[in-house]
């Protein structure tokens, strides 16, 4: 199964996020926006793993969850990866991200011991679109800059979710495999 560990976006913030996507879409650039039901913060992408490896991941996470408490984050600001000159991902940022980053680093140490690649410097972000081409790039840059200081709102991170991702011709379909409460 193709799997990843994620934090789902609080449903009360989804409308504000889709409004930002609509404003960016007005640039008429080649962007594939993330569907509202698929909005999440990726904690760790595992790739294709066996059911046995998924069970090992579940066991490790269950053993670590007592170390963490729910925490609040603010979703705000737009940006891109890798940079404005070559945009691949459009994202919304996270303020008050220290607990998010610490939790991710704590888990990543154990994931490395399980044979997964160590994450480069982890930057908590919410991918809202993927740039597919250079058409109307200047208009897209202007739209992103105009929304640079956008404030979506606050949410409390109460759980993380192991998800299965099935790639289909119309986009990915995510299925929750296991929820872990903080």
Q: Where are the domains of the chain?
A: 2-181
pTM: 0.93
pLDDT in tens, 87-136: 999 999 999 899 999 999 999 999 999 999 998 888 899 999 999 998 99
Closest CA to 110 of 167, 63, 173: 63
Examine the residue annotation and report whether 135 is marked as an active-site residue of this protein: no
Active-site residue, selected from the candidate residues 125, 129, 140, 143: 125
Q: 177 is written with which tokens?
A: 């495999």
Fold (topology level) of 2-181? Cyclic Phosphodiesterase; Chain: A, (3.90.1140)
Q: Are 61 and 162 in contact (CB under 8 A)?
A: yes
Active-site residue, selected from the candidate residues 4, 34, 40, 100: 40
pLDDT in tens, 163-173: 999 999 988 99
DSSP-assigned letter for residue 169: T
């Amino acid at each position: 199964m193709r799997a990843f560990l994620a934090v789902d976006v609080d449903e009360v913030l989804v409308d504000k996020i889709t409004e930002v996507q609509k404003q960016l879409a007005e640039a008429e650039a080649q962007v594939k926006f993330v569907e509202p039901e698929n909005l999440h913060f990726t904690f760790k992408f595992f790739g294709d793993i066996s059911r046995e490896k998924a069970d090992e991941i579940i066991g490790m996470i269950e053993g670590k969850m007592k170390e963490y408490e729910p925490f609040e984050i603010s979703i705000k600001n737009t940006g891109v990866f890798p940079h404005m000159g070559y945009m691949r991902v459009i994202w919304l940022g996270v303020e008050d991200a220290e607990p998010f980053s610490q939790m991710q680093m704590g888990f990543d140490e154990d994931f490395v011991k399980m044979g997964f690649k160590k994450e480069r410097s982890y930057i908590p972000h919410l991918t809202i679109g993927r740039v597919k081409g250079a058409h109307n790039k200047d208009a897209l840059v202007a739209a992103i800059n105009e929304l640079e200081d956008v404030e979506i709102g606050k949410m409390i991170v109460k759980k993380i979710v192991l998800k299965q991702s099935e790639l289909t011709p119309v986009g990915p379909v995510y299925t929750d495999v296991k929820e872990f409460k903080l």
